[in-house]
């Protein structure tokens, strides 16, 4: 656990545990449905495995996370006390959405974006059979510029290589633009109208996209009045 504050105040006692770097992001990942070590790693790619391991131990010791091993599969879940952090993490996300709008270039990780998008595809709404989407980020070179989402009835896969199936729709934009849409900083329609994002392919799919390609759970957070991006100026 982190260093002590030398205070009996419950806020201080809570923060001794929770203000350690990465800790609440692990809770966020557990909330989002990652329960295996390597699934957590995918959602926290900049965290070294040693550090993730250490934080998980700390959280288990603190009673916030429960570790179960079934055979040689290990899973992590929030305990009752961990589940009581969910509204706090949600509130932090809403606060961040409202007040920390500017993203640095280092924040624009295409792999994380695809990983997020894939997690929230509405399987009920997607047409039956296989649906393949191709995302092209015009400002990224090499394998980071093209991503395939392969949606089957049994799940969604993310590929950074051509899986060889027919592509139903191609989504082309700068990476930042697509991230801003995902975050709810921009609306689909406005962005398309402004020419910053192009949907090409199956007309049916193009029209239906916003119904089954969901946005971030924080996207609908109301913004402070002065901070609304327009379709054209993204400053």
Interface residues with a second copy (CB under 8 A)? 2-25, 28, 45-46, 62-64, 80-81, 84-85, 87-89, 91-100, 103-104, 106-109, 112-113, 116, 179, 182-183, 216, 218, 224
Q: Rule CB under 7 A: is residue 3 a binding residue for DNA?
A: yes
Q: Which one of a second copy, DNA, none interacts with residue 49, CB within 5 to 8 A by kind?
A: DNA
Q: Which one of DNA, a second copy, none interacts with residue 96, CB within 5 to 8 A by kind?
A: a second copy
Taking the least distance from each CB to a second copy, the nearer of 56 and 132 is 56
What's the rounded Cα separation, in Å, for the pair 197 and 177? Answer: 8
Taking the least distance from each CB to a second copy, the nearer of 81 and 211 is 81
Taking the least distance from each CB to a second copy, the nearer of 74 and 103 is 103
146 beta partners: 136
Nearest approach in angstroms of CB 113 to a second copy is 7
One of 17, 24, 32, 37 touching DNA (CB under 7 A):
37
Taking the least distance from each CB to DNA, the nearer of 84 and 157 is 157
Q: Which one of DNA, a second copy, none interacts with residue 73, CB within 5 to 8 A by kind?
A: DNA
CA angle 113, 184, 41 (to 5 degrees): 25
What's the rounded Cα separation, in Å, for the pair 222 and 185? Answer: 10
Nearest approach in angstroms of CB 97 to a second copy is 4
Nearest approach in angstroms of CB 94 to DNA is 24
Q: Rule CB under 7 A: is residue 115 a binding residue for DNA?
A: no
Taking the least distance from each CB to DNA, the nearer of 39 and 215 is 39
What's the rounded Cα separation, in Å, for the pair 154 and 131? Answer: 12
Q: Rule CB under 7 A: is residue 210 a binding residue for DNA?
A: no
Taking the least distance from each CB to a second copy, the nearer of 138 and 203 is 138
What's the rounded Cα separation, in Å, for the pair 8 and 79? Answer: 24
Residue appearing with tokens 């280092």 = 106
One of 50, 100, 106, 225 touching DNA (CB under 7 A):
50
Binding site for DNA (CB under 7 A): 2-3, 20-22, 36-39, 46-51, 53, 56-57, 67, 72-76
């Amino acid at each position: 656990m982190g260093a002590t504050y030398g205070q009996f105040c419950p806020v201080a006692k809570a923060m001794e545990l929770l203000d350690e770097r990465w800790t609440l992001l692990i809770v966020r990942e557990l909330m989002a449905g990652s329960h295996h070590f390597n699934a957590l790693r995918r959602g926290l790619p900049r965290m070294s495995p040693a550090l993730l391991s250490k934080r998980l131990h700390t959280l288990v010791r603190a009673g916030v996370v429960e570790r179960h091993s079934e055979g040689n599969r290990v899973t992590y879940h929030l305990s009752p006390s961990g589940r009581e952090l969910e509204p706090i993490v949600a509130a932090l996300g809403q606060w961040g959405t409202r007040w920390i709008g500017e993203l640095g270039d280092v924040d624009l990780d295409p792999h994380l974006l695809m990983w997020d998008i894939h997690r929230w595809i509405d399987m009920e709404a997607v047409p039956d059979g296989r649906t393949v989407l191709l995302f092209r980020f015009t400002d990224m070179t090499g394998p980071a510029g093209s991503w395939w989402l392969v949606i089957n009835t049994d799940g969604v896969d993310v590929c950074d290589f051509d899986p060889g199936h027919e592509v139903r729709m191609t989504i082309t934009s700068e990476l930042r633009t697509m991230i801003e849409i995902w975050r709810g900083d921009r609306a689909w329609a406005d962005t398309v109208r402004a020419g910053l994002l192009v949907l090409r392919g199956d007309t049916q799919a193009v029209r239906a996209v916003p119904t089954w390609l969901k946005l971030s759970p924080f996207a609908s957070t109301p913004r402070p009045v002065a901070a609304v991006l327009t379709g054209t100026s993204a400053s």
